Amino acid sequence: MKRQQSSRRDTAQTPAASSRLHLTPTGSLDGVRAYPFAEWNVRCRAAVERGLDVIRLDIGNPDLPPPDAVIEAASRALHAPREHGYPGYAGIEALRVAIADYYRRRFDVSLDADGQIAVLLGSKEGIIHLQHALLNPCDVVLVPDPGYTPYVAGARMAGADVVRFPLGADGGFDLDAVPADAMQRARLLWLNYPNNPTGAVVVRESLERAVAFARRHGLLLCHDAAYTDVRFGACVPMSVLEIPGAADVAVEFNSLSKTYNMPGWRIGYAVGHPDALRLLQLVKSNVDSGMFLPLQRAAVVALATGDGWIAQRNAVYENRLTKLAAILSRVGLAPVVPAATHYLWVPVPAPDTAESLAVRWLEQAGVAVAPGTFFGPGGEGFIRVSATVPTEQIRRVEERLCCT
């Protein structure tokens, strides 16, 4: 074994690349594209290397810090000698209880901390692995278009087929548009409110309709609630589990990434349907070995953060979104500040396409926005602009865009 490894290394150093082991993706990777932002990042970096100082309104990467108490809790745990071992698979009880407390406080939803909560290494991880747990080849997954791309990637990696249904810029969806033969094979339905990329929120009746639809067709409704605490004014976005009986047909994904400005920490969770979560845990126990204990201790503290901290953070986003919207209006676009999320979803005037506008702004002005097509074909004709940069950068956006 040792000898084989070293001889392979030797060949890799010689120019004879033809002797290199030839690798091809599995069938289930067919149709899984590189994460759109991975390719786009290369383009942005190239612009930086050419000397452009690029302002990144494209990625939704919160720039503000988490609450101080969260950092202190993590730091205390890091200094404790007993916090460095394998943490166990299920997540510590204190964290599951903290998630249950948060759901009761925020949504008036009761969860069983032993069967209805799965701790995830970021919700994206769970969004992928749940689909590994539940899907067979030829099953169909119903995905909103435009939508967050891991729904599609996870379904395809599990060998399932993706059927997209249109999501309006107002967040409305029409499941009757799904063909009858696809409905027969459908196993999962993805929804996401408040919505990335459109910023739309959902009304209770639509969620009720989705729960009834899932029950009628024997689907698991998967609701991604990552932005429920990025909200403005009187808007109080719902959990799908507020709909009576929803936990019988639904799981909800949530995350500390956007709620507490902790995207790099990779702390998410799923709640709801116990069998779905048990099967998700089965996959995960074979893939990862649980979440680092200092992160779990910090998550417990984060989930107890007062509403005042969240309100202040949201005021910063709202102020930035208002400034960005004013700038975009001045250059001839028609943005609307959303009721939730830190995104503007802005129609692109003809003859531009989503991509032509985004590329021109990047190359000529050093302003990066996300073409709507990153989120599916239904995103054509829109760009997504994220208010996750400091106000002084937003001021510079105006000077730059007015001359391109």
Ligand X SMILES: *Cc1c(COP(=O)(O)O)cnc(C)c1O
Name the H helices within 145-193. 150-157, 180-185
DSSP-derived 3-state class of residue 41: helix
CB of 261 to ligand X, least distance (A): 11
Contact of 366 with 53, CB cutoff 8 Å: yes
Question: Residue 113 carries which DSSP code?
Answer: T
What DSSP letter does each residue of 221-238 carry, written as one string?
A: EEEE-TTTTSB-TT--PP
CB of 133 to ligand X, least distance (A): 17
Of 27, 213, 217, residue with least CA distance to 138:
27
Of 196 and 261, nearer to ligand X (C-beta) is 196
Of 226 and 367, nearer to ligand X (C-beta) is 226
CB of 131 to ligand X, least distance (A): 14
Dihedral sign computed on CA atoms, order 140, 143, 146, 151: negative
Of 52 and 207, nearer to ligand X (C-beta) is 207
CB of 299 to ligand X, least distance (A): 12
Of 124 and 231, nearer to ligand X (C-beta) is 124
Question: Residue 26 carries which DSSP code?
Answer: -
Environment class of 42 (CB within 10 Å of its CB; exposed 0-12, middle 13-18, buried 19+): exposed
Q: Residue 115: what are its φ and ψ, rounded to 5°?
A: -130, -10
Of 210 and 365, nearer to ligand X (C-beta) is 210
Per CB under 6 A, residues contacting ligand X are: 60, 122-124, 148, 192, 196, 224, 226, 255, 257-258, 263, 268
CB of 201 to ligand X, least distance (A): 13
CB of 329 to ligand X, least distance (A): 25
Instruction: Give the containing element (helix H, strand E) for 196.
Output: none
Of 341, 327, 305, residue with least CA distance to 201:
341
CB of 60 to ligand X, least distance (A): 6
Cis check for the bond before 197: say yes or no (omega within 30 of 0).
yes
Of 61 and 364, nearer to ligand X (C-beta) is 61
C-alpha 198/C-alpha 133 separation (Å) is: 29
Of 116 and 388, nearer to ligand X (C-beta) is 388
